[in-house]
A and B are shown apart, each in its own frame.
Chain A
């Protein structure tokens, strides 16, 4: 049961309890009451914590006056802002300082021990995903965040999905999901230490199994979409974005504004839990992020005097236009530019299955250009087979190789066409894992590398390596059964063995000769110019 078993405190309202157990969405008043209660608990815990941290402060300064048990206490507080926490901790809580010194000697050891025990409980509990101990440590975890953010508002927060090894961040996420009534998906299996800051989920445990039936919090179209994402039924960044936009269209047409609410504000709030849910099923791609930003902007731009029917119609129209302009027409424009670069007798190398590159090759074939295609494929996804199927169906002559043979066939290749998942602001290309390898070998052989990417996939992020932000797929995908024997079946039992299934990698702009976008052909280093021009347009 998704929401059963939540124990908040002794003074919990029965109504709220019932509503949660039934999986119904809580009314506004109930939510406010819940929020107030949590705030009160937080305050009381803060006072206790502060007294304890005052202890640790004075303990540090007086050197060994307080017990060594005070050491583990400053640890979670220093994780966020190491230099700032000890200083501001005394400053914003002058009120609690007065009672603290008075009680300090008597309560210190017992309080610290209780605090430590509570924290250990919480860590263990949050790792198992149980909701019992969450409220306690969340309240205390809330406190260390408050002082640093007051004094350092310009500190950039790293997104949650890149800080999985930080228990504070996990607690914050769990708290947010609980508030939105979405189950938390658990990480699976041993993570290679270099990537331990990323999520790793198992395909055999989809999030939808943890939802109650019927789940009235999340729209069924979104539940279906989440399942399709997590099982890999809908894969590929264009396909995922289009599926997302269609699901949102369904959500918007089924939406009714509650009384005393404005559509522009309420609908955006309704979409937030859906987005968290989809993020839990499979991390959002850059293209999906841009699409969501666009939708949210359109919704908040709806004038308040607009009638609901008209507003909904307008929004559905906007989404249709977006799909049409940014994806379908963009593909046509890119195909037009790319065909200029394909000449008779060319041998073109493609990697994996990019819907855009397949479209370009089919269009070029329609224009009766004679060329030959080499499809390069890699495990475990073997997406190249899908591309091969589509091209051969059209009648294009193809060769199929695995990525290990790429340096063998490259001397015969005249051009390399690659698709992209996203184009980063510093000119790096983020694409399926293996792309940067192919670009590197092509550069060594002086073969021109062309990347085809629509402008809606351009994102403001900057990344120079594939470690910082990536996606870890199900490690069990790497297990293969040959001749009835599965060697890696018990890989979890072996302590020193880890399976790593990366999804993306980044290619530096020196390896890419040309980027073909719907705005034209640009060098890889001009991506920030396009972003600037786009921002001016909007």
Chain B
């Protein structure tokens, strides 16, 4: 399977199921790649998979794709590969790959189940931009017949917040779209803040759409709880110290990275929120405090 086929398959997966996380689509692609791979050695197989992950990050530069790919590779290799026959090894790896995929498909449901209990009747929630996990959580809360209202930020430059508002209106949830600049204004009316994440870093902080850090600082100043909902495949082995420390390859969209020469004139699409501003993280591994994220990462990666 060469690069074009890979990218085509990935895009097809995204088109088929727009609700799926891009990382899940990437993992499906990698699984397909594994099945079709004609390598002769396990080391060669691993190298090919790494190359494939790099290709996919070239298409969609979000943190989750690279973290998902790395976790996939680790998960399938975390078994005894001492069989004599390469095809038997590959079979084992494929089975584990399917298992991994199954687990992460369930992750959004698990997160929603954990989080919806934190939403009580009469709660006013603030959220940022369009996040499918947050949407799933709010769906579940609405299904439990809870009455709550939502404020969504517009989230420029792509106005993704309006998409979120549309989806919520379909659920009959009262929703208000606010300007990004109005976050401080609206926070006194709000009871809690729920945010998705593109990546969860080793320190327990998160990487998310630009504007999240601002919201976190304001909610800390107002003493409102700041909750993050994220699946476990988004845990990544980065440790940024400040905004500048986040690698450029995550900050901008993939096309921008390829075409633009001077990146300092481009506006970054993501920012980093340090763990001191986050109250709790809801993941399919459970409800974690930011300092527990490092423990989980050590378990996942070491």
Binding site for B on A (CB under 8 A): 341, 415, 448, 450, 513-514, 519-523, 525-526, 529-530, 533
Distance in angstroms from B7 CB to nearest chain A CB is: 29
Partner of B202, one of A448, A523, A533: A523
Q: Which residue of A lies closest to B245 (CB)?
A: A341
In the bound complex, do residue A533 and residue B245 qualify as a contact, i.e. CB atoms below 8 Å apart?
A: no
- Tell me whether B241 is interfacial, beta carbon within 8 Å: yes
Can you list 8 pairs linking A and B with CB atoms under 8 Å apart?
A341-B245, A448-B242, A513-B241, A514-B239, A523-B202, A526-B298, A529-B295, A529-B298
In the bound complex, do residue B295 and residue A526 qualify as a contact, i.e. CB atoms below 8 Å apart?
A: yes
In the bound complex, do residue B241 and residue A526 qualify as a contact, i.e. CB atoms below 8 Å apart?
A: no
Partner of A415, one of B202, B237, B239, B241: B241
Q: A522 to chain B: which residues have CB within 8 Å?
A: 202, 294, 298
In the bound complex, do residue A523 and residue B204 qualify as a contact, i.e. CB atoms below 8 Å apart?
A: yes
- Complex Cα–Cα for A415 and B245 (A): 12
In the bound complex, do residue B298 and residue A521 qualify as a contact, i.e. CB atoms below 8 Å apart?
A: no
In the bound complex, do residue B245 and residue A521 qualify as a contact, i.e. CB atoms below 8 Å apart?
A: no
Q: A523 to chain B: which residues have CB within 8 Å?
A: 202-204, 275, 291, 294
- Tell me whether B182 is interfacial, beta carbon within 8 Å: no
How many pairs, one residue from A and one from B, have CB atoms within 8 Å of each other in the complex?
A: 36
Q: A520 to chain B: which residues have CB within 8 Å?
A: 237
Q: B291 to chain A: which residues have CB within 8 Å?
A: 523, 525-526
Which residues in chain B, 257-292, are within 8 Å of chain A measured between CB atoms? 275, 291
Q: B239 to chain A: which residues have CB within 8 Å?
A: 514, 521
- Complex Cα–Cα for A513 and B275 (A): 10
Q: Which residue of B lies closest to A337 (CB)?
A: B239
Please, what's the 1-or-0 string for B132-164, where 1 marks a CB less than 8 Å from any CB in chain A? 000000000000000000000000000000000
Distance in angstroms from B237 CB to nearest chain A CB is: 8
- Tell me whether B302 is interfacial, beta carbon within 8 Å: yes
Distance in angstroms from B42 CB to nearest chain A CB is: 25
- Complex Cα–Cα for A226 and B179 (A): 69
Q: B245 to chain A: which residues have CB within 8 Å?
A: 341
In the bound complex, do residue B203 and residue A514 qualify as a contact, i.e. CB atoms below 8 Å apart?
A: yes
- Complex Cα–Cα for A476 and B237 (A): 49
Q: Given that A514-B203, A533-B302 are known contacts, is A525 also in contact with B294, CB under 8 Å in the complex?
A: yes
- Complex Cα–Cα for A533 and B245 (A): 29
Q: Which residue of A lies closest to B295 (CB)?
A: A529
- Complex Cα–Cα for A380 and B204 (A): 40
Distance in angstroms from B45 CB to nearest chain A CB is: 25
Distance in angstroms from B271 CB to nearest chain A CB is: 16
Q: Given that A526-B295, A533-B298 are known contacts, is A448 also in contact with B203, CB under 8 Å in the complex?
A: no
Q: Which residue of A lies closest to B237 (CB)?
A: A520
Q: Which residue of B lies closest to A446 (CB)?
A: B242
Q: Which residue of B lies closest to A415 (CB)?
A: B241
10 nearest A-B pairs in the assembled complex, by CB-CB distance:
A448-B241, A525-B291, A526-B294, A521-B239, A529-B295, A523-B203, A523-B294, A529-B298, A522-B294, A513-B241
- Complex Cα–Cα for A526 and B241 (A): 17
- Complex Cα–Cα for A450 and B242 (A): 12
Most buried by A among B203, B204, B245, B275: B203
Q: B203 to chain A: which residues have CB within 8 Å?
A: 513-514, 523
Q: A519 to chain B: which residues have CB within 8 Å?
A: 302
Q: B237 to chain A: which residues have CB within 8 Å?
A: 520
In the bound complex, do residue B294 and residue A341 qualify as a contact, i.e. CB atoms below 8 Å apart?
A: no
Distance in angstroms from B177 CB to nearest chain A CB is: 33
Q: B204 to chain A: which residues have CB within 8 Å?
A: 523
Q: B294 to chain A: which residues have CB within 8 Å?
A: 522-523, 525-526, 529
- Complex Cα–Cα for A128 and B241 (A): 55
- Complex Cα–Cα for A522 and B242 (A): 15
Q: Which residue of B lies closest to A427 (CB)?
A: B291
Q: Given that A526-B291, A529-B295 are known contacts, is A521 also in contact with B202, CB under 8 Å in the complex?
A: yes
Q: Which residue of A lies closest to B241 (CB)?
A: A448
Q: Given that A523-B203, A523-B291 are known contacts, is A514 also in contact with B298, CB under 8 Å in the complex?
A: no
